[in-house]
Structure 1
Amino acid sequence: MAAKLPQVTYPEGMNATIDLSQFQSVPQLLDRSLKEFADKPAFSCMGRTLTYGELDRMSADFGAWLQNHTDLEPGDRIAVQLPNILQYPVVVFGAMRAGLVVVNTNPLYTEREMEHQFNDSGARLLVVYAGMADKAVRVKGKTPIEQILCTEIADFHPPLKRLLINTVVKKIKKMVPAFDQSAVTPLRQALAQGAASQFNPVERTQDDLAVLQYTGGTTGVAKGAELTHRNLIANMLQCYEFFKLALTPGEETLVAPLPLYHIYAFTVHCLVVLETGNHNVLIPNPRDIPGFVKELRKWQFSGFAGLNTLFVALMNNEDFQQLDFSKLKLTISGGMALTRNAAERWEKMTGCTVSEGYGLTETSPVVSFNPPGHAQLGTIGLPAPDTEVRVVNDAGEPQPVGEPGELCVRGPQVMRGYWNRPEETEKSLTSDGWFSTGDIAVIQEDGYMRIVDRKKDMVVVSGFNVYPNEVEDVLVQHEAVVESAVIGVPDEKTGEAVKAFVVTNREVSDEELVRHCKEHLTAYKVPRLFERRDELPKTPVGKVLRRELRDD
């Protein structure tokens, strides 16, 4: 007999279901918002603001360039490797309006990671920030990428300011390594050519692929989660049901410090906020806390989307403590577990309760959220409207209320599958649509849920997933390393830190191993701690027992 789960009761003002018939595609949603809110600010960055009307025109210009100056067809993939700058929404929305599939790419990737993602996705065009262009040029010949569009950080600013900022970034801060300029096409040139061309809107359906969002899953080999227009529209509508309890359409300013190439920020800032005609303030480098706080001083912000480590870093800054938080109505937390201490400090300092949510790349990403005004600290909130959840034991049997088990999810936001990986899809997604998250959860009597453990060995560093297999594979490429095992250990600043256990055939310093890892891994994946072992604990068949290392 199936375990009976509680009927979810949403707060007054929320709907338990969503109407997916409103939009057939993300471009259709965009067309409505870009025109309805044409005079309102959409995105601001470093002193320059794009209105919805400007975003409409410029994204159409980019779409026209794709249609008239490339041979890309609807359904082809375009890789976008940009930080939080104004160019990101212009390029992504222009690509979607031309019917292309966006492959979001981390600007911090190493050449090895870029090469894998471009080859796996089959992306033929890359739009890259100038600070990454040297790597892009080097990997191009090893991938299907046929053309690289390059943009500098202030390319959308007025001429004098553009020259000043770009020169400072390049010459003084030395943040743009030298690269072969002849190997790339300036994005500004492409937009100018597009403006002189005809843009022809492309019809897409809910079942068409919109985004390939890469995730490591349980194996450490990055896989593309196939997110359709239906997935993205559904999660936008689901999130809106929660957010509308705190925010008013067309009147809010939200701070956007988390990377837009990450599905959490993408859904919040590029879908929900745009659908409601609100304003995003982009923060290109949230690690620069003094610079971040200086930018915050300029705005009366009413919404803030962040994660635990960022909240803590900001609250430790004296200038942040002096900001005016009188307009702040919604603080969203995701990407990693929210600690009680951080949540309580934030509420005391800002007067705004933190609403924590939960999700995965494969679920577009939001599965659940704490409704504003009804948040329960220590939980991941209520399931999103039209989302079914259950927890199962190792035998796949549903567990009753209060009993832990692996959290499984079914709903319109669940991905279509993993790109070109039917076996991986079959492992995590049942034929009737249930996705296994790999996280151990408890469902309470009131329908709120708590995550109690991770079934997967994934390590979460500042909200970014680190997969032990990938790090271990890099470590054993060092000639001195015979075996390695990687786990996560608690860290005050980043939530978790990567710790590596290594068996070596000679003496090798931690510094040398760090240098080796940095050549092949993004910085947050590089182990911070090393421990030497004569041998690693293993099962009878030779599988390393990471749990035993964690218990030690």
Structure 2
Amino acid sequence: MNIAAYVKNHANHNGNKIAIIHSNTKYTYKKIWSLIEGVCEILISKGVAKGDRVGLSMKDHPLHLIAHFSVAAIGGVIVPIDHRWTDKEKQNTSITFKIKLIITDQESPKNIESITLKESDISEKTSSSHHIDLDYDKELLISLSSGTTGKPKGAILSHDNLYQRFESQWRSIGFNRNDYFALLTPLFFGAGRSFAMSMLVVGGTVEIAPPPLKPEEIIQILKKKYISATFLPPTLLRRLIPFSLSSKPMFSQLQYLIYSGEPLHSEEVLECLNKISSNLTGYYASSEGGGISLIKPKELREFSNTVGSPIHQTEIKIVDDTDSIVGENVIGKLKYRGPGVATKFIDDKGNESSTNKDGGWFAPGDLAMMLPSGHIELIGRGDDVIIRGGINIYPNEIESILSKANEIKEVVVVGHKDRKFGETIIAFVETTNDFDPKKVLDYCKEHLAPYKIPEKFIKMDSLPKKESGKIDKKQLRQSLISS
């Protein structure tokens, strides 16, 4: 079924319930359905039909979230586009993914078919529901990730793919219609978009707080008594830790504080549990397949080095180079399958392909091992492995050790070509003022095998970050080549 049908159902049966809060303005389900229909009318008047791809390039506000359901309602396909991209980047994405029209809230991009929408343009408009096919459930969203060239590539998701992802969140995390979810990350990014849409489909409430946000602003929002759930990437969690001045967690009322996007090291997990929220929940996912595994608060203290166990309706296996399943505590390639996994993809040149050949199994590119407890420990990205003198070295292990050193605030480890060993180990570090390389080296000798100790420590004021908040390893590797 078309996911917009669920929002319409809430509007019909619980229309006065608050669906969205933004800057102290409250939108009921009846109101947002009226806006959804209004945007549908505008899209149809511009010639958008079933199967057409519509780019959403907007800042973070209610109309952006609402537009997702409008495109869905008329059978269109959503293509997320970061509003901060240049016109050239938007134009390239439009060509690659054959976008019919881009919706923006700013000046229209040059040489691209687009419309600029403001809420005042549609607040009084209504459309007849015969334009909206709520039984249509084919392609819905192209979930973007970076290709090998740095240009976007995408997984094509159907209405059912997305609904199954939402249901796994409801069943595995526990989201329900009584929740108030604080959206603190951009709608352009997969996690924030997925959780926000999921909350409206289940009948809950989303409070939108447009990023970027300072730690003090995040704290102010999450201190609101009615906020029950939110998502924060590890980068933002780390920024909050110094603001904890009590022996108790800062956000006692939060039922779900979800982190995802990159791992937290074990000691960081424990700090977040003690200082930020005792209901910290780890959610391991990919843009191509949605949720993979989950670790709940009651397990985190014992298994803080893992990403938990498979979520609802998802299977996971760890395989070797011959695609045979490996035993417990053996490192291999992680694969998973489930109803939320995409079956069609578009590469960064616009070519479509299918993954049905492998029985629905998808490999996100991570190395992992299955523990006897059934929990999954991530070792790192397959392309991050450093091969030094024929030995596989996993940066995540070294980063985990170095992050415990008092002098180091943040660290990333990469490999660099070396004539003698094939690759050598380089550690980029963001440090405190009393950083002493000799002390850190002595610390490494105490905790790491000699061949795992970095050959070089490069001190930086701050590590470069991608728009998603993840450390940009590609930029760091490039800096080594350039030097």
Q: Which residue of 1 aligns with 2:240?
A: 314
User: CA, structure 1 residues 446+102, in 2 after alignment: closer, same or farther (shift >3 Å)?
Assistant: same
Query: 1:410 and 2:337 equivalent?
Result: yes
Q: Take 2:219 and 2:147, find their aligned partners in 1: how far apart are those partners? A: 34
In the TM superposition, what are the counterparts of 1:264-283 in structure 2 within 5 Å? 264-271=191-198, 273-283=199-209
Contact 2:87 2:109 in 1 (8 A): no
Q: Which residue of 1 aligns with 2:116?
A: 149
Query: 1:189 and 2:121 equivalent?
Result: yes
User: CA, structure 1 residues 33+523, in 2 after alignment: closer, same or farther (shift >3 Å)?
Assistant: closer
Q: Take 2:149 and 2:384, find their aligned partners in 1: how far apart are those partners? A: 10
Tell me the alpha carbon deviations over residues 318-373 of structure 1, each in whole angstroms, 9 at most, x when there is no partner. 6999996232111111011122233222221244232111111110x211111454
User: CA, structure 1 residues 359+326, in 2 after alignment: closer, same or farther (shift >3 Å)?
Assistant: closer
In the TM superposition, what are the counterparts of 1:82-481 in structure 2 within 5 Å? 82-130=58-106, 133=107, 136-138=108-110, 141=111, 145-151=112-118, 188-192=120-124, 194-195=125-126, 200-206=131-137, 208-244=138-174, 249-271=176-198, 273-317=199-243, 325-363=251-289, 365-375=290-300, 376-419=303-346, 425=353, 430-457=357-384
Contact 2:280 2:296 in 1 (8 A): no
For 2:14, the aligned partner's letter is F
Q: Which residue of 1 aligns with 2:52?
A: 76
Q: Take 1:217 and 1:104, find their aligned partners in 2: how far apart are those partners? A: 15
Structure number with greater CO (CA < 8 Å, separation at least 6) is 1
Contact 1:96 1:102 in 2 (8 A): yes
Q: Which residue of 2 aligns with 1:180?
A: none
For 2:364, the aligned partner's letter is T
Tell me the alpha carbon deviations over residues 127-148 of structure 1, each in whole angstroms, 9 at most, x when there is no partner. 2232xx3xx433xx1xxx3232
Contact 1:77 1:103 in 2 (8 A): yes
Q: Take 1:321 and 1:270, find their aligned partners in 2: how far apart are those partners? A: 35
Q: Which residue of 1 aligns with 2:420?
A: none
The share of aligned pairs that are identical, in percent, is: 19
For 2:187, the aligned partner's letter is L
Deviation at 1:211, TM superposition (A): 0.3
Deviation at 1:292, TM superposition (A): 3.2
Q: Take 2:243 and 2:105, find their aligned partners in 1: how far apart are those partners? A: 29
- Pairwise CA RMSD: 3.5
Contact 1:62 1:91 in 2 (8 A): yes
Q: Take 2:237 and 2:481, find their aligned partners in 1: how far apart are those partners? A: 36
Query: 1:45 and 2:12 equivalent?
Result: no
For 1:367, the aligned partner's letter is I
User: CA, structure 1 residues 319+35, in 2 after alignment: closer, same or farther (shift >3 Å)?
Assistant: farther
User: CA, structure 1 residues 34+456, in 2 after alignment: closer, same or farther (shift >3 Å)?
Assistant: farther
- Where 2:283 maps in the other structure, the secondary structure is strand
User: CA, structure 1 residues 251+215, in 2 after alignment: closer, same or farther (shift >3 Å)?
Assistant: same
Q: Take 2:255 and 2:188, find their aligned partners in 1: how far apart are those partners? A: 25
Which has the higher mean CA deviation after the structures are superposed, 47-56 or 369-378?
369-378
User: CA, structure 1 residues 368+532, in 2 after alignment: closer, same or farther (shift >3 Å)?
Assistant: closer
Tell me the alpha carbon deviations over residues 410-451 of structure 1, each in whole angstroms, 9 at most, x when there is no partner. 11111121137797746x663421112111011122322111
Q: Take 1:57 and 1:395, find their aligned partners in 2: how far apart are those partners? A: 54
Deviation at 1:218, TM superposition (A): 4.5
Q: Take 1:55 and 1:218, find their aligned partners in 2: how far apart are those partners? A: 39
Q: Take 1:150 and 1:91, find their aligned partners in 2: how far apart are those partners? A: 10
Q: Which residue of 1 aligns with 2:447?
A: none
Contact 2:37 2:127 in 1 (8 A): no
For 2:25, the aligned partner's letter is R
Deviation at 1:298, TM superposition (A): 4.3
User: CA, structure 1 residues 534+82, in 2 after alignment: closer, same or farther (shift >3 Å)?
Assistant: closer
Q: Which residue of 2 aligns with 1:28?
A: 5
For 1:146, the aligned partner's letter is E
For 2:50, the aligned partner's letter is P
Tell me the alpha carbon deviations over residues 164-187 of structure 1, each in whole angstroms, 9 at most, x when there is no partner. xxxxxxxxxxxxxxxxxxxxxxxx
**Total equivalences in the alignment:** 410
Deviation at 1:534, TM superposition (A): 8.3
Contact 1:308 1:337 in 2 (8 A): yes
Q: Take 1:349 and 1:314, find their aligned partners in 2: how far apart are those partners? A: 9
Contact 1:98 1:201 in 2 (8 A): yes
Q: Take 1:269 and 1:259, find their aligned partners in 2: how far apart are those partners? A: 10
Q: Take 1:306 and 1:523, find their aligned partners in 2: how far apart are those partners? A: 11
For 2:121, the aligned partner's letter is Q
